[in-house]
């Protein structure tokens, strides 16, 4: 093969490879539906109070940012956080996801919504806290979606004087 022939072949392969990436279309509606299904499955797992069912919804290096505690980072710390919560008398959590926004690239997304957490207070009576939440989702190599950042903040206004 001549130098020109080799150059032309390499150039054609490079153009073809570059073109494949540029023409990739992401079905944002399908990705949103996949995240909403994953979120619904996550909620069902939370209702089971089984750490082994709920942990797979977070990425291995995920971070939980909850009010009043340091950041909970990584699966081991999340396992402890979840196990402690499930062991708390009267604990329950439920949430509603209102919005899911998927990046044009189709590999990152965020969702917003509200949650309600209940537990028994020191006097044994049920205490309920309502929060607003943001979850940042990352598409995994196997096509699944996992939460990489989970943020909660109280819905009630702060009593600032």
Q: Is 14 a domain residue? A: no
Structural domain span for residue 35: 27-154
- 17 within domain boundaries: no
Whole-Å CA distances, 160 to 48, 52, 156, 157: 37, 40, 12, 9
Assess if residue 145 is contained within a domain.
Answer: yes
Is 41 a member of any domain?
A: yes
Looking up residue 46, the CATH number of its domain turns out to be: 3.10.450.50
Convert the pLDDT of each residue in 73-109 to its tens digit: 999 999 999 999 999 999 999 999 999 999 999 999 9
Regarding pTM above 0.85, the answer is: no
Encode 64-106 in three state secondary structure: EECCCCCCEECHHHHHHHHHHHHHCCCCEEEEEEEEEEECCCC
Domains: count for the chain = 1
Question: For each of the chain's 161 residues, which pLDDT tens digit applies?
Answer: 454 443 334 334 343 444 444 556 999 999 999 999 999 999 999 999 999 999 999 999 999 999 999 999 999 999 999 999 999 999 999 999 999 999 999 999 999 999 999 999 999 999 999 999 999 999 999 999 999 999 999 987 655 55
């Amino acid at each position: 093969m001549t130098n020109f022939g080799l150059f032309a072949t390499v150039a054609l392969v490079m153009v073809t490879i570059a073109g494949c990436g540029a023409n990739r279309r992401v079905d944002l509606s399908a990705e949103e539906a996949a995240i909403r299904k994953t979120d619904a499955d996550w909620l069902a797992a939370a209702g089971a109070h089984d750490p082994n069912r709920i942990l797979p919804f977070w990425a291995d290096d995920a971070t939980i940012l909850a009010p009043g505690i340091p950041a909970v980072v990584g699966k081991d710390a999340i396992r402890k956080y979840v196990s402690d919560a499930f062991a708390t008398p009267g604990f329950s959590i439920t949430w509603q996801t209102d919005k899911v926004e998927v990046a044009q690239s189709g590999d990152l997304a965020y969702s917003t919504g509200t949650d309600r957490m209940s537990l028994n207070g020191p006097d044994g009576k049920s205490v309920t806290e309502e929060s607003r939440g943001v979850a940042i989702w990352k598409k995994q190599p196997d096509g699944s979606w996992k939460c990489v950042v989970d943020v909660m903040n109280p819905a009630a206004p702060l009593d600032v004087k």
